[in-house]
Amino acid sequence: MSGGPTTSANARGLCEFIDASPSPFHVCATVAQRLLDAGYSELREADRWPQQPGRYFTVRSGSLVAWNSGGRLAPFRIIGAHTDSPNLRVKQHPDRVVAGWQVVALEPYGGAWLNSWLDRDLGISGRLSVRDGSGVSHRLVRIDEPMLRVPQLAIHLAEDRKSVTLDPQRHVNAVWGVGDTVGYFVGYVAQQAEVTAADVLAADLMTHDLTPAAVIGADASLVSAPRLDNQTSCYAGMQALLAAQPRDVVPVLVIFDHEEVGSASDHGAQSNLLSIVLERIVLAGGGTREDLLRLLPASLLASADMAHATHPNYPDRHEPGHPIAVNAGPVL
């Protein structure tokens, strides 16, 4: 990553972005704020959209689409990334008491490498759906305190000291107190969010490691951070959109939730979110569906995600004919 002031600034910017975004909902909030600061306007899907070009974005749950349209119909140049990362998420009925411990039941989300979550200070982030006077509203939640810890089994009690096998149903639950009374975890989170627990209709909560992102190495050539997959691409795509000039194309950024679990939700990559937005961009520019169908073959979408660099301790686990080096450019 060594490469002068610009590279260092990008690395610091990435670290700040990741620290601000512990959940997919926070990723969208972080990107949305950056876009608003740059002069973009937010559009809601249920509203009538302006019939003139401009810089806009829309948010659907943990996904976001942003674009910068000029004054004429033009093909799209799209960067796609995803807002979610493997982690441990809070079950819908999380409260347990086990052997005098107050426990919060967690479950793996995506391809979480369970060993890496043991014996860490974990905060809580996500979103509460809350009953209010006009219906249902959503409140972002972020608790950056060492709320939870998933305790590792002591080596003295292990059946096999050379390996550890974790059962996700039994071995990744977190302790958060002691006593014989079942705690009320969602109620505690609601209190921290300054809402009434009885008004909480649903909670989408997840853990995040409290260790901040950092630039490391004697030459400051590396970034150590959680959620690099795929907040790195979200950050790069956001920066690219902010720097883009429409000219003969329409630059678009789309960041989807739920990639880690198949993308088959109402706001995942298999949903109608992107296709609807692209059609509405064309309609707002005075075009028709025929124009959309004509522009799509001339458009380009780059699916931006992360790749595994060749591991220095396990080089034999990689394809020897295709070594991947860090700081050596994109992996195709």
- Residue 3 is predicted with a pLDDT of 60
Please state the rounded mean pLDDT for residues 256-267.
98
What amino acid is encoded at 197 in this protein?
A
State the pLDDT at residue 71: 78
Mean pLDDT of 213-225: 96
Domains 11-84+227-305 and 87-209 agree in fold: no
Mean pLDDT for all residues in the chain: 95
Q: What integer pLDDT is reported at residue 161 of this predicted model? A: 80
Three-state secondary structure call for residue 187: helix
The CATH label, of 2.60.40.1730, 2.30.250.10, 1.20.210.10, 3.40.50.1360, for the domain at 87-209 is 2.30.250.10
Span 18-39, mean pLDDT? 99
The pLDDT, as a whole number, for residue 2 is 54
Predicted confidence at residue 1, as pLDDT, reads: 56
pLDDT of residue 91: 98
Q: Where are the domains of the chain?
A: 11-84+227-305, 87-209
Determine the CATH number of domain 11-84+227-305.
3.40.630.10
At residue 266, the pLDDT reads 97
Q: What is the pLDDT of residues 85-127, one digit of tens each?
A: 999 999 999 999 999 999 999 999 999 999 999 999 999 999 9
Q: For residue 29, what pLDDT band results from cuts at 50, 70 and 90?
A: very high
307, 331 contact by CB (below 8 A): yes
Q: Is 34 left (phi over 0), alpha (psi -120 to 50) or beta?
A: alpha
Specify whether the CB–CB gap between 94 and 186 falls below 8 A: yes
Q: What is the pTM of this model?
A: 0.95
Give me the mean pLDDT over the 125-137 stretch.
Answer: 94
| DSSP bridge pairs for 78 | 252, 301
| Rounded Cα–Cα distance for residues 45 and 55 (Å) | 15
Convert the pLDDT of each residue in 175-186 to its tens digit. Answer: 999 999 998 999
